[in-house]
């Protein structure tokens, strides 16, 4: 028996696990400190009433012989896929139902999709970025090259014709920097992928935070993207499903490599390794698209946007540079006084009782940066902002 040696190349623990442990240790040593968590991007508002009602009613259906559901379609129920197709139609994107696959979240699918690709492919990943992209490719022993995202390009790298890549990750609105590509930026990546026969893995988990109507929420808003891109999305940040678990992945029929449709491969993979998302959860997710559900989830997103504004205003007053916070729940700030990311993490935790995420945890270019989330409640966000202001204006 030989273990997968590639696992030994990984950092000892996943970024947010590491932060969780550090914070728990600090709390144990300082039980008197009222810690405010602006670290992991986990929502704090409860599921909206429309979703709760749908979950309740679906649960009751499951307790009655005539309306009970056993195994569902591995790729999801049509009642949810029809809603998703309708949502995309509003963005001017036409999707066939067989192009939509319901999952238990974007993170799982972003990892699982790699089953479709040879270990020999070269992967291009922006730096900094959501650590799951890098870790899942290290696990498979794939070669990773990085696209530098930094202040000089507004944290939105564009393709470099001298870099060869087969698989390209794009996250927009970006985690962690909050930067958002415009149509021209995404088109540059689509053109680059087309030229190389590469595939783009587009993470749209934060699309519902885009407030500026001129910015794209889906890569398929760019012409020709269906021939090069797979899109991942989730109800986690849009509708508070981080603990409920539901997302979706779009594999367009037009995405064909070496004469093979990737849609068929993904279907084969899912029908073999996945038995689908629970009926009850899919009913809850479908309610996100009802008139009430749309209104209620948008109100929650506005609530988080207000938190982002509070944090951004504080940084403005302190003269600290940052990106994000406008079309994203994340604020990506420069660490003050040239501090390193983990140094600032400790400084903020020990002196203000505020937890954020060290930029270095998202890649080498994240060193010297720090991520704050807007996913706490108003009261805590205001309290944290005041503590940060007091500490950093010293």
Instruction: Using the minimum distance from each CB to ligand MLT, give the nearer residue, 55 or 171.
Output: 171
DSSP-assigned beta bridge partners for residue 201: 169, 230
| CB 3 to ligand MLT: min, Å | 25
Q: How far apart are CA 306 and CA 301, in angstroms?
A: 9
Contact status: 107 vs ligand MLT (CB under 6 A)? yes
Query: Which of 147, 188, 139, 141 shows the shortest CA–CA distance to 165?
Result: 147
Query: Which of 176, 180, 172 shows the shortest CA–CA distance to 205?
Result: 172
Contact status: 125 vs ligand MLT (CB under 6 A)? no
Q: For residue 234, say whether it is annotated as part of any ligand binding site.
A: yes
Show contacts with ligand MLT in window 146-175 (CB under 6 A).
175
Q: For residue 71, say whether it is annotated as part of any ligand binding site.
A: yes
Q: For residue 390, say whether it is annotated as part of any ligand binding site.
A: no
Residue from 40, 180, 246, 308 that binds ligand MLT (CB under 6 A)? 40
Contact status: 356 vs ligand MLT (CB under 6 A)? no
Contact status: 359 vs ligand MLT (CB under 6 A)? no
116, 269 Cβ separation under 8 angstroms: yes
In the three-class reduction of DSSP (H, G, I as helix; E, B as strand; rest coil), residue 324 is classed as: strand
Show contacts with ligand MLT in window 295-354 (CB under 6 A).
none
Contact status: 41 vs ligand MLT (CB under 6 A)? yes
In the three-class reduction of DSSP (H, G, I as helix; E, B as strand; rest coil), residue 21 is classed as: helix
Query: Which residue in the block uniquely carries the two structure tokens 């959501």?
Result: 130
Instruction: Using the minimum distance from each CB to ligand MLT, give the nearer residue, 175 or 208.
Output: 175
Q: For residue 172, say whether it is annotated as part of any ligand binding site.
A: no
Q: For residue 235, say whether it is annotated as part of any ligand binding site.
A: yes
Q: Which two tokens stand for residue 11?
A: 């950092």
**Which range touches ligand MLT (CB under 6 A), out of 39-47, 68-76, 277-285, 332-340?**
39-47
Contact status: 76 vs ligand MLT (CB under 6 A)? no
The 3-state secondary structure of 38-94 reads CCCCCCCCCCCHHHHHHHHHHHHHHCCHHHCCCCCCCCCCHHHHHHHHHHHHHCCCC
Binding positions for substrate are 14, 41, 107, 130, 175, 275, 371
Which residue ranges make up the site for ligand MLT (CB under 6 A)? 40-42, 107, 130, 175
């Amino acid at each position: 028996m030989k273990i997968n040696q590639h696992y030994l190349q990984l950092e000892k623990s996943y970024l947010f696990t590491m932060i969780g442990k550090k914070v728990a240790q600090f709390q144990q040593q300082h039980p008197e400190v009222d810690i405010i968590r602006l670290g992991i991007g986990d929502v704090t508002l409860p599921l909206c009433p429309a979703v709760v009602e749908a979950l309740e009613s679906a649960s009751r259906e499951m307790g009655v012989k005539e309306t009970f559901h056993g195994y569902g379609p591995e790729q999801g129920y049509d009642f949810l896929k029809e809603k998703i197709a309708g949502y995309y139609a509003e963005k001017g994107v036409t999707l066939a139902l067989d192009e939509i696959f319901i999952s238990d979240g974007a993170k799982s699918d972003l990892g699982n999709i790699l089953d479709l690709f040879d270990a020999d492919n070269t992967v291009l990943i922006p730096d900094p970025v959501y650590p799951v992209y890098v870790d899942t490719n290290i696990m498979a022993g794939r070669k990773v090259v990085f696209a530098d995202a930094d202040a000089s390009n507004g944290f939105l790298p564009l393709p470099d014709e001298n870099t060869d890549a087969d698989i390209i990750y794009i996250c927009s609105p970006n985690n962690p920097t909050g930067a958002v590509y415009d149509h021209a930026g995404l088109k540059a990546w689509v053109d680059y992928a087309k030229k190389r026969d590469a595939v783009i893995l587009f993470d749209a988990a934060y699309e519902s935070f885009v407030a500026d109507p001129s910015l794209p929420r889906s890569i398929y808003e760019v012409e020709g993207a269906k021939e090069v891109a797979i899109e991942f999305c989730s109800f986690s940040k849009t509708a508070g499903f981080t603990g409920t678990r539901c997302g979706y992945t779009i594999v367009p029929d037009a995405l064909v490599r070496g004469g093979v449709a990737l849609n068929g491969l993904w279907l084969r993979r899912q029908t073999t390794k996945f038995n689908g998302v629970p009926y009850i959860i899919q009913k809850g997710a479908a309610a996100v698209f009802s008139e009430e559900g749309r209104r209620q989830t948008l109100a929650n997103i506005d609530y988080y946007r207000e938190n982002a504004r509070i944090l951004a205003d504080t940084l403005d007053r302190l003269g600290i540079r940052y990106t994000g916070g406008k079309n994203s729940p994340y604020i990506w700030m420069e660490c003050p006084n040239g501090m390193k990311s983990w140094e600032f993490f400790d400084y903020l935790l020990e002196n203000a009782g505020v937890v954020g995420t060290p930029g270095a945890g998202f890649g080498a270019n994240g060193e010297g940066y720090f991520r704050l989330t807007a996913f706490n409640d108003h009261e805590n966000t205001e309290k944290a902002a005041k503590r940060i202001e007091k500490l950093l204006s010293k």
